[in-house]
Structure 1
Amino acid sequence: HRGAAGPAGMILRAFAPSDRDWLIARHRSLSGAEFGFTPDFGDSIADKLDAFLAREDPVKRLWIAGESGQRIGSIAVSGRDGSAFLNFVLLEPSARGRGLGHVLLQSAIDHARAAGFPEARLETYSCLTAARALYRAHGFAIVDSDPGWRRFGQVFDRELWQRRL
């Protein structure tokens, strides 16, 4: 998907080291503004991102979505316990409502399917209602939940979602 054009001129390209700080900062900022998460959410993303980048995994991919020369989103897929695991799903508010989140998610699903995974999984939180609707629209369903999770200054359910490929 390097340089692949999506709707309205969105481009998906491979993650570059120069994207690291942006990805962490946008997760921190958007989660704070939209869900009231404390800044340590960004620290959690940094830890997960660094572990993702360091892990040897021939099927892992991290894409950055761009439009008009600006970064507008991200998504990643990697192998974990025999499943494809999706992570770092982000779409800037200015890019929402035009189907771009569907393109991001479908790109990761297509990659996971082509890599031969039998299923895709992801972790999300009950307070992320728009993301959860997107996952549901793509055939994901909750397979495990940890209710009353207290992190990032909030209380929510931590959820594991899955779909067959």
Structure 2
Amino acid sequence: MRKDTIVIREIVAKDNPKIAKAIRTVLIEMGVPKVGTAYEDAALDCMTETYDQPKKAYFVVESGNDIIGGAGISPLDNYEGNVCELQKMYFMQEARGKGLGSEMMNKCLDFAKQSGFEQCYLETLPYMDGARKLYRKVGFKSIDKPMGNTGHYSCTVWMLKDL
């Protein structure tokens, strides 16, 4: 697969089943618990509708007819303050190691800044080393406790970035 045939774009309705399958495939591959994580989120099956609201966006990585990854920005749930959350950033094996993570981070963080957010929060798992390395590279710092209440109680690494 060549990187020049890959497109990062906003999600459309026909992508819903493809991104749901991609995210669940990656979560299973990584051994992520099926409870207390994105795996059980109802939004996975209706991503277009979930992100079709003010100050929300979800972007997919498209290769031909396949969706091989994605990530989104949304206001942080159950939190008072001007903070967004980087959500559901997952890439299939064939999308990794091509610089797409950095490209996706830039797209998401640019959207967050344009939407007027002051900080971006994320949750991940301690063994997702590649993801944490990318997050640190773009300026996310580890914090001691979760912010808001995302329902992802199995995610025990919390990070925050000033925008």
Q: Same fold (TM over 0.5)?
A: yes
Query: Match of 2:30, SS?
Result: helix
Residue 159 of structure 1 aligns with which residue? 157
Equivalent in 3, 24, 27 of residue 31 of structure 1: 27
Count of aligned pairs: 152
TM-score, structure 2 length as denominator?
0.77
C-alpha separation in 2, matches of 1:121 and 1:40: 17
Are residues 1:143 and 2:129 paired?
Answer: no
* Aligned partner letter, 1:18: K
**Contact 2:123/2:158 (<8 A) preserved:** yes
Cα 1:73/1:164, change in 2 over 3 Å: same
Are residues 1:68 and 2:64 paired?
Answer: yes
**CA displacement, residues 84-111 of structure 1 (integer Å, 9 cap, x when unaligned):** 2110101111121111111011100111
**CA displacement, residues 24-73 of structure 1 (integer Å, 9 cap, x when unaligned):** 22222222122264589565133466588447741211111112342121
TM-score, structure 1 length as denominator?
0.76
Residue 4 of structure 1 aligns with which residue? none
Gaps of 5+ in 1: 1-6, 147-155
C-alpha separation in 2, matches of 1:69 and 1:44: 25
| Residues 15-164 of structure 1: pairs in structure 2 closer than 5 A | 15-35=11-31, 37-38=33-34, 43-47=39-43, 50=46, 53-54=49-50, 57-80=53-76, 81-145=81-145, 158-164=156-162
C-alpha separation in 1, matches of 2:32 and 2:121: 25
* Aligned partner letter, 1:27: I
Gaps of 5+ in 2: 147-153
Query: Match of 1:35, SS?
Result: coil
C-alpha separation in 1, matches of 2:48 and 2:57: 10
Cα 1:138/1:93, change in 2 over 3 Å: same
Cα 1:63/1:34, change in 2 over 3 Å: same
Residue identity (%): 21
| Structure showing the higher strand proportion among its residues | 1
C-alpha separation in 1, matches of 2:156 and 2:107: 24
C-alpha separation in 2, matches of 1:42 and 1:65: 18
Q: Following TM superposition, by how much is the alpha carbon of 1:76 offset from its aligned partner in structure 2, in angstroms?
A: 0.5
**Contact 2:17/2:45 (<8 A) preserved:** no
C-alpha separation in 2, matches of 1:61 and 1:142: 24
